[in-house]
């Protein structure tokens, strides 16, 4: 009976978009990124949510991930937060691409970037479209993003919970999926996959024929959650590093533009360049 009641209380918001009153209050709690470092700028704020809403968010993320994997809608370049993908596999792929570039004596630009505070700044309409693309219903998404956008927030400390609270200004809802949201990592996979597929459609990346059966292999980005390496390689050995500078800058600008749309900012990406000659 308890399980049936719990399922009912969570099923109604999922199918109707209705949000119970006790879901509208979130508690912010700051934890150290590095043990013992209590500087505010070096800590991460976690949003503690109602357990029923958290269970629904995790369910939405799991359903969308399963649909995306089954229908090949997630970009191969995104290895973070996915089953059967590990950081060591991503590192090996990058090492093999570098070895091929050196072996073939081809020039390439390597753009390393880190999307700043990505979970806290994802624009809601972008995330909604990315998840509807993965067969998540509007009512289910309205349940989650209405809550995230307009909830009242309190602050939890080591002494006690705050008596005062804060909420978004009128007509200016909060953005972001929230640190601690069970759907947060899948949401970043969904929105970043769209950018990677955009880079592929625009012709950026590395191309090579396999030595044995002459199959074409391509790579545009090597992503582990929000840490990304974007590659733009010359098409032949005749292209020098100077020749591909323009296309490397275009690739960097295109990636930065996509991230800026997702995070609603123009300064969210840090760029570094390195060349193989």
CA–CA gap between residue 99 and residue 146 (Å, rounded): 48
Convert the pLDDT of each residue in 221-267 to its tens digit: 999 998 999 999 998 888 888 899 999 999 999 999 999 989 886 44
For the beta carbon of residue 138, count every other beta carbon within 10 angstroms. Answer: 11
Three-state secondary structure call for residue 260: helix
* Angstrom distances, CA of residue 152 to CA of 16, 55, 57, 168: 22, 20, 18, 8
Structure tokens belonging to residue 184 = 């947060």
The Cα diameter of the chain in Å comes to 72
DSSP state of 238: T
pLDDT band (50, 70, 90) for residue 195: very high
Structure tokens belonging to residue 143 = 């349940």
State the pTM of this model: 0.89
Convert the pLDDT of each residue in 146-165 to its tens digit: 999 999 999 998 889 999 99
CA–CA gap between residue 153 and residue 126 (Å, rounded): 23
Contact 45, 30 (CB under 8 A): yes
Question: % helix / strand / coil in the chain, to the nearest 5?
Answer: 45, 20, 35
Convert the pLDDT of each residue in 54-75 to its tens digit: 999 999 999 999 999 999 999 9
User: What is the structure's pLDDT at 273?
Assistant: 42
Q: How far is CA 134 from the centre of its chain?
A: 15
* Angstrom distances, CA of residue 37 to CA of 45, 46, 98, 177: 14, 16, 36, 25
Contact 133, 187 (CB under 8 A): no
Structure tokens belonging to residue 175 = 């953005």
pLDDT band (50, 70, 90) for residue 117: confident
Structure tokens belonging to residue 22 = 């006790």
Q: Which residues contact 265 (CB under 8 A, 6 or more apart)?
A: 121
């Amino acid at each position: 009976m308890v399980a049936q009641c719990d399922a009912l209380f969570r099923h109604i918001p999922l199918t109707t978009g209705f949000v119970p009153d006790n879901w509208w209050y979130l508690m912010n709690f700051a934890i150290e990124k590095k043990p013992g470092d209590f500087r505010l700028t070096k800590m991460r704020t976690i949003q503690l949510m109602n357990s029923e809403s958290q269970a629904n968010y995790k369910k939405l993320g799991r359903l969308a991930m399963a649909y995306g994997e089954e229908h090949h809608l997630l970009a191969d370049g995104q290895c973070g937060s996915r089953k059967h993908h590990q950081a060591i596999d991503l590192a090996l792929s990058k090492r093999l691409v570098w070895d091929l570039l050196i072996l073939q004596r081809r020039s390439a630009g390597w753009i390393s970037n880190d999307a700043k505070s990505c979970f806290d700044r994802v624009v809601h309409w972008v995330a909604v479209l990315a998840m509807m693309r993965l067969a998540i219903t509007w009512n289910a998404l309205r349940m989650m993003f209405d809550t995230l956008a307009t909830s009242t927030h309190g602050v939890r400390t080591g002494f006690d919970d705050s008596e005062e609270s804060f909420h978004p200004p009128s007509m200016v809802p909060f953005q972001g999926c929230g640190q601690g949201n069970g759907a947060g990592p899948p949401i970043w996979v969904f929105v970043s996959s769209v950018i990677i597929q955009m880079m592929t459609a625009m012709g950026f990346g590395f191309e090579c024929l396999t030595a044995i059966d002459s199959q074409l292999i391509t790579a545009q980005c090597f992503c582990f959650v929000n840490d990304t390496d974007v590659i733009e390689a010359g098409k032949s050995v005749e292209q020098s590093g100077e020749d591909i500078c323009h296309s490397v800058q275009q690739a960097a600008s295109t990636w930065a533009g996509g991230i800026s749309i997702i995070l609603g900012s123009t300064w969210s990406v840090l760029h570094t360049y390195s060349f193989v000659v």
